[in-house]
Chains A and B, each alone.
Chain A
Amino acid sequence: MSFIEIHEIDKSFGKKKVISNLSLDVKENELLGILGSSGCGKTTLLRLIAGFEIPNKGEIRINSDLVYSSNNRRVVPPEKRNVGMVFQDLALWPHMTVKEHINFVFESKNIRNEEKIEEILKLVNLKSLSESYPEQLSGGEKQRVAIARTLAQEPRVLLLDEPLSNLDQILRKDFKNEIIKLQKKFGITTIYVTHNYLELVDMADEIAIMQEGRIIQFGRTEEVYQKPKNNFVRNILGR
């Protein structure tokens, strides 16, 4: 069953068309990898799903809820979509402590529960650092804060925007393991955007290759890897 359904969406910035007539389905509890070189529109696609940007036409459904439709003139704002996102560089709030990050998420749902905060901090091993600010944390600790923040939200959908691009090798591996663990444990439907196929190996159930605002190949990961449609796909898969 498809959990995220994207149907014939268009998006332009001024005269520049970034997404053209794109359709895409993501199955429930699966991880879809979107692979493309920079400027192909893959980050914009994530931002459209999250609701930061509004498409010019088309439809987007999450768990059969219509969150955007040009025909029905329906736009659900980001905070009502319950979508979680891990950003490139993590985007931790510099003026909040670790604990405040988690609390900030709970407050948005009108939950005030010290125990739950403690529980999440324990889960990502950050209990001793709960009063620290992001700049006082190491790279790995920052990652865990970002994950904890997303966890606290209990999102229906998880979006990952090049989460490994600014990390060193060791941190990359940790982070990847952390993400896989979470995704499997909570069964969150996930979209993972990157330009590096190696990040998706052993992780993505399906892969979509993007070029100039379109999806040029889509399928099970092994299938796409075995049968690249053309030279562009072959190159980006590193074959």
Chain B
Amino acid sequence: MIQRFRVNLRLLLKILTFLLFFIIAILPVFCIFLSNFSFELFSVFDERLSSIFLRTLILCLGTVALSLIIGIPFAFLLEYTDLPFRSFFKIAYLLPLLIPPYISTIAWLEFLGKRGDLISLDLPIYVYNLPSVIVILAFSFFPLVTLITSFALRNIDSRLEDAARLLYPQREVIRKITLPLIMPHIIISSIFVFVFSISELGVPALLMVNTFTPEIFAQFSAFFDTPRAIALSLPLVALIFIIILLNHLYLGRKSFVTISSFSRKGKSIKLSKTYKLIALAFTSIILILSVLIPISILLLESRLQFLIAFYEAFEPIINTLQFAILGATLMTFLGFFLAYFYRSSFDPIILLPIAIPSMMMGIGIINFFNTDMTSLIYNSFPIIIIGYMARFLPFVTKTLSPFFEQIHPSIEESALLSGSSFPRILHRILLPLMKPGIISSWVVGFVLSIRELSTTLLVSPAGLQTLPVRIYTLMHYGAPEMVSSLSLILIFLIITPLILLLTVRRLILKLVIT
């Protein structure tokens, strides 16, 4: 009897986890596609839409390309060379990821003048164009590429390179062995950058480049033209699906980087003095452009009116913090069980929501929850949390799953053999072992949620505003010192919890060791 109960509890949790994931992240969009789909959709696809589609494609591909050009060399410098101040750069390169791209856009717009002309130098630099959007986004997203590829580089079996090093010079070994080995990671990071670029509303809107996301936002919020919005999104969704599917097939055949005990442990290529200088200049300039300049401009422009700004926007600030904390916590909770129960078998399904642009997610959620039965959700803050979860659950789950893979099944099996029930295994074995993974995934969920703009802008009920939404609306009415102050407050809200968490984590580690 008891045995049976145990199994059922596990099964129940497993089903419940999937149902929740399905209802939040997949069903809304699925429904809206289904209810609006007809072949007439394609007749909406006129010349104007095709040009938007093309522009969006260029935006995404351009951002991916530039992010790779910056991100991959950055990763190699961090992992393979004796770059000066390496330990500093190993943390600092993540900073651009913490500054939302629409915030750096605001800063650069303020720096280069309101009309987009460099006032002080009187140079005819026109920034309201597609290349500007690509540059801003790439400087914001390249750390994703660096993060994922440097993880791969760190864990490559270095003897695979040694074996080739007997035959080829270092440069060739990197080209012929190292790069192909980390290719799956490069592809995955490209997919992430691609989908983040599609979903970005703030940057193209602020720079007045009409791409997919601003267009849908306009279509939907001004004209409530759902079919047109869907027609626009279909080719993009299809494209991402194809990429994810191809990647899955490619990865399915051969996976290369396994965590091995023969990873390079600090074996670094010694750079000559000239190359050291070039490398240092490269990493510094990237960080100066993506972090130092935007933050300095915001500080200057804010005229240090933080207190006033804080007072004026007290409610959105508190809202944002609460929602992001609640969202991250729920995501980690659900992501934990998703990653546990569906380790790698459901990969494509877990990744599915990634393929859906933020606008579609927002429209889907609005349509799905705008019923009498769910009005409690629809008219209040839960709809915002659902928006966060729908968009970011895959990322949180993906952060957790490698940690699960490191827990050998025998650990759990031996607990089962000694007669432990599932809740007991969870409490005594999985949770303690997963602590680092839980903290990391919570951070990922928190950072992504607190800056979320596009879905929130669509779904937020009347009278409820988050800080990004407030900044975005203020941006259209001037008040640069308000916008700058609030932007800095947002960056502060993103970074402080991170620092707190990292310190706590280090303290815990210290306590455990001593």
- A residues engaging B (CB < 8 A)? 47, 50-52, 77-79, 81, 83-85, 87-89, 91-95, 104-105, 108, 133, 135, 149, 153, 155
CB distance from B463 to the nearest CB of A (A): 56
Verify A79–B180 contact, CB threshold 8 A.
Answer: no
- Assuming the A-B contacts A94-B254, A94-B256, A135-B254, are A52 and B165 also in contact, with contact meaning beta carbons closer than 8 angstroms in the complex? yes
A91 to B170, CA, bound (A): 17
Verify B163–A79 contact, CB threshold 8 A.
Answer: no
Chain B residues with CB under 8 A of A50: 162, 166
**9 intermolecular pairs with C-beta atoms under 8 Å apart:** A50-B162, A79-B165, A85-B162, A87-B159, A87-B163, A89-B157, A133-B253, A135-B254, A155-B166
Verify B166–A91 contact, CB threshold 8 A.
Answer: no
Render B134-177 as a binary contact track against A, CB cut-off 8 A, 1 for contact.
00000000000000000000000101101111111110000011
Chain A residues with CB under 8 A of B169: 77, 79
A88 to B262, CA, bound (A): 10
* B256 partner, pick from A47, A78, A95, A155, beta carbons under 8 A: A95
Whether B181 sits at the interface, judged by CB under 8 Å, is: yes
A94 to B30, CA, bound (A): 39
CB distance from B57 to the nearest CB of A (A): 29
Verify B165–A91 contact, CB threshold 8 A.
Answer: no
Chain B residues with CB under 8 A of A104: 164, 167, 176
Task: In the A-B complex, list the 10 residue pairs whose CB atoms are closest, starting with the nearest.
Answer: A108-B167, A91-B159, A91-B163, A95-B180, A87-B159, A78-B165, A94-B256, A91-B160, A78-B166, A108-B168
A108 to B164, CA, bound (A): 9
Chain A residues with CB under 8 A of B180: 95
Verify A95–B164 contact, CB threshold 8 A.
Answer: no
Verify B167–A153 contact, CB threshold 8 A.
Answer: yes
Contacts between chains A and B (CB distance < 8 A), count: 61
* A52 partner, pick from B162, B167, B168, B255, beta carbons under 8 A: B162
Verify B166–A85 contact, CB threshold 8 A.
Answer: yes
Chain B residues with CB under 8 A of A133: 253-254
- Assuming the A-B contacts A94-B181, A95-B180, A135-B254, are A79 and B167 also in contact, with contact meaning beta carbons closer than 8 angstroms in the complex? yes
- B residues engaging A (CB < 8 A)? 157, 159-160, 162-170, 176-177, 180-181, 183, 253-256, 262
A85 to B168, CA, bound (A): 14
A47 to B264, CA, bound (A): 14
A131 to B254, CA, bound (A): 14
Verify B162–A93 contact, CB threshold 8 A.
Answer: no
A78 to B167, CA, bound (A): 7
Chain B residues with CB under 8 A of A47: 162
A79 to B170, CA, bound (A): 9
A29 to B355, CA, bound (A): 61
Chain B residues with CB under 8 A of A89: 157, 159, 262
A138 to B167, CA, bound (A): 26
Closest to B170 in A: A77
What 14 new A-B contacts, CB under 8 Å, besides A79-B166, A91-B160, A104-B164?
A: A47-B162, A50-B162, A51-B165, A77-B169, A84-B166, A89-B159, A89-B262, A91-B159, A94-B254, A94-B255, A94-B256, A95-B183, A104-B167, A155-B166
A78 to B256, CA, bound (A): 24
A91 to B164, CA, bound (A): 10
A89 to B160, CA, bound (A): 10
A57 to B98, CA, bound (A): 47
A83 to B163, CA, bound (A): 10
Closest to B160 in A: A91
* B163 partner, pick from A77, A85, A135, A155, beta carbons under 8 A: A85
- Assuming the A-B contacts A77-B169, A79-B169, A87-B159, are A93 and B254 also in contact, with contact meaning beta carbons closer than 8 angstroms in the complex? no
Chain B residues with CB under 8 A of A83: 166
Closest to B166 in A: A78
Closest to B184 in A: A95
A81 to B180, CA, bound (A): 25
A94 to B177, CA, bound (A): 10
A92 to B160, CA, bound (A): 7
Tell me which of A94, A104, A155 has the highest count of chain B C-beta atoms within 10 A of its own C-beta.
Answer: A94
CB distance from A102 to the nearest CB of B (A): 12
Chain B residues with CB under 8 A of A91: 157, 159-160, 162-163
A65 to B4, CA, bound (A): 74
Verify A153–B166 contact, CB threshold 8 A.
Answer: yes
CB distance from B182 to the nearest CB of A (A): 10
A87 to B165, CA, bound (A): 13
CB distance from A92 to the nearest CB of B (A): 8
Chain B residues with CB under 8 A of A51: 165
A104 to B165, CA, bound (A): 12
Chain A residues with CB under 8 A of B165: 51-52, 78-79
A81 to B170, CA, bound (A): 14
Closest to A95 in B: B180
Closest to A83 in B: B166
A155 to B254, CA, bound (A): 30
Chain A residues with CB under 8 A of B262: 89
A106 to B177, CA, bound (A): 16
A83 to B167, CA, bound (A): 9
CB distance from B235 to the nearest CB of A (A): 32
Chain B residues with CB under 8 A of A79: 165-169
Closest to A53 in B: B267
A87 to B183, CA, bound (A): 24
A91 to B181, CA, bound (A): 13
A153 to B162, CA, bound (A): 14
CB distance from A191 to the nearest CB of B (A): 14
* A95 partner, pick from B162, B170, B254, beta carbons under 8 A: B254
CB distance from B121 to the nearest CB of A (A): 48
A87 to B170, CA, bound (A): 19
* A93 partner, pick from B166, B168, B177, B253, beta carbons under 8 A: B177
Tell me which of A77, A79, A153 has the highest count of chain B C-beta atoms within 10 A of its own C-beta.
Answer: A79
Closest to A85 in B: B166
Closest to B159 in A: A91
Chain B residues with CB under 8 A of A81: 166
